């Protein structure tokens, strides 16, 4: 029997609006198992809390309830809901990637460098990282004429392809994708799913 690399037990997240004395529910009693080499999808209507679950795994949100058990590359199980900040930064740097719905990057940085950045941070030479970035941008059908300019001026679909390329190029053990194909044409969406 295969062991999951991620197991979520009873995850819950709510937000408190202190000035209005209100509690806003986001996710409740989410249970999920994720296995290496498989594509696992959270589905549900808008507002169901899918993004909150992903942000809980990546720990940009602290869960209100539950466990997020991640098995690292050494086989050590870590409860991401309880892990200290240093451990979370280490896991984000080495093993867990997250592609949000929006592209955030430095202005005036070329698209090729935006995509290559995760590899450079991990110690790859700039030249080798740019070669890998070019391969990924080609796979996601982003025209080469756009690679030398900043993605800040791109359309929504072009920005999303850059964002996905940056997330995919580093090949993390666990890649979290928040609405990865929302602004893509059907052909590119199929490429993303295949990658």
Alpha-carbon gap, residue 5 to 70, rounded angstroms: 6
pLDDT digits over 138-193, tens only? 999 899 999 999 998 888 888 889 999 999 999 999 999 988 877 788 888 888 88
Domain boundaries, the chain: 1-92, 95-195
CB 63 within 8 A of CB 11: yes
Residue 73's pLDDT is what? 94
Residue 92's pLDDT is what? 93
Domain 1-92 shares a fold with domain 95-195: yes
Cα 36 from chain centroid (whole Å): 15
Residue 105's pLDDT is what? 67
What does the DSSP assignment read for the chain?
A: -PPPSEEEEEEEEEEEEGGGTEEEEEEEEEEEEE-TT--------TTSSHHHHHHHHHTSS--SEEEEEEE-TTS-EEETTT--HHHHHHHHHHTEEEE-SS----TT--HHHHHHHHHHHTT--HHHHHHHHHHHHHHTT--GGGTTS-GGGS-HHHHHHHHHHHHHHT--SEEEESSTTTTS-HHHHHHHHH-
Candidates 3.40.50.300, 3.40.50.720, 3.90.870.10, 2.60.120.10; CATH matching 95-195: 3.40.50.300
pLDDT digits over 10-42, tens only? 999 988 888 888 888 888 899 999 999 888 988
pTM of the model: 0.86
Residue 114's pLDDT is what? 94
Q: Which CATH class is domain 1-92?
A: alpha beta
**Are β-strands 174-177 and 96-99 bridged in parallel, bridged antiparallel, or unpaired?**
parallel
pLDDT digits over 70-127, tens only? 999 999 999 999 999 999 999 998 999 999 877 776 678 899 999 999 999 989 999 9
Residue 106's pLDDT is what? 66
């Amino acid at each position: 029997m295969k062991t999951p690399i991620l197991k979520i037990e009873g995850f819950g997240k709510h937000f408190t609006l202190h000035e209005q004395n209100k509690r806003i529910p986001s996710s409740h009693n989410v249970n999920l198992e994720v296995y290496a080499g498989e594509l696992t999808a959270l589905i549900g209507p808008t507002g169901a809390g899918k993004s909150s679950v992903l942000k809980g795994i990546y720990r940009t949100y602290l869960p209100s309830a539950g466990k997020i058990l991640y098995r690292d590359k050494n086989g050590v199980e870590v409860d991401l809901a309880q892990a200290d900040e240093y451990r979370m930064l280490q896991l984000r740097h080495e093993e867990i990637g997250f592609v949000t719905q929006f592209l955030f990057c430095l202005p005036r940085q070329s698209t090729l460098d935006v995509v290559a950045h995760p590899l450079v941070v991990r110690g790859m030479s700039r030249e080798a990282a740019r070669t890998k970035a070019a391969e990924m941008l080609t796979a996601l059908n982003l025209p080469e004429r756009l690679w030398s300019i900043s993605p800040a001026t791109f359309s929504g679909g072009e920005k999303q392809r850059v964002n996905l390329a940056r997330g995919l190029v580093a090949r993390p053990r666990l890649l979290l994708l928040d609405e990865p194909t929302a602004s893509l044409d059907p052909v590119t969406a199929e490429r993303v799913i295949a990658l």
